[in-house]
A and B are shown apart, each in its own frame.
Chain A
Amino acid sequence: NAGVTQTPKFRILKIGQSMTLQCTQDMNHNYMYWYRQDPGMGLKLIYYSVGAGITDKGEVPNGYNVSRSTTEDFPLRLELAAPSQTSVYFCASRHMDQTQYFGPGTRLLVL
């Protein structure tokens, strides 16, 4: 099993550009999450999904969108990149025993 994979590893965006952060898991987990890592603030939940076709907002959803058309994939979309979205983004999926498995992260810099 590859576990949770994320692409790209690193990206630089200009203000106003759009991009999609990809997340894929091969563990057949229903629950998936997107977090951002803010310095000194730990992990903030952006969006989460409890299964294909079902998504909901977390603490900091503004400026982001998600979709969940399959169990495996949970992409995160940034429509109009802003400097405040500079962060490290982690995707995670959750086993039935509640354990979350994290991807390696995507480092995003918005200039």
Chain B
Amino acid sequence: ILNVEQSPQSLHVQEGDSTNFTCSFPSSNFYALHWYRWETAKSPEALFVMTLNGDEKKKGRISATLNTKEGYSYLYIKGSQPEDSATYLCALAAGGYQKVTFGTGTKLQVIP
């Protein structure tokens, strides 16, 4: 069982603030690192899939970076809005058949 850790567990930010979260993972047998956005009572939705060391992805105000050598990924949200309130999950695909292991998530609440 792979240990995928996310920090912080939760945070509250004011509307307009920028914020970032961390996903740490074992770097051996790395295949891909996923980020998902999960709103309450809905299903997780994919944000990014990153496979190469140094990868940077961006979608609107949200971006992510990947360091496979040291085993971490950062997710950044610029100018947080109330609609960004959700749990952000990272997931590691590794090993044979690229088995997927999710972190426990970072719950973000943006206060208007």
Q: List residues of A whose CB falls within 8 A of some B CB.
A: 33, 35, 40-45, 48, 50, 56, 58-59, 90, 97-105
Contact = CB atoms under 8 A, between A and B. Distances in A.
A43 B97 contact: no
A90 B32 contact: no
Contacts of A100: 34, 36, 44, 46, 91, 100
B77 interface: no
A56 B100 CA distance: 12
A48 B102 CA distance: 14
Given A41-B104, A42-B103, A98-B49, A50 B97 contact: yes
Which range holds the interface residue count of chain B?
20 to 34
- A interface, by DSSP: helix, strand, loop or mixed? strand
B101 interface: yes
Interface in B21-58: 32, 34, 36, 43-46, 49, 51
B43 A45 contact: no
Contacts of B89: 42-43
Contacts of B100: 33, 45, 48, 100
Nearest to B87: A42
A90 B49 contact: no
Interface in B87-112: 89, 91, 93, 97-105
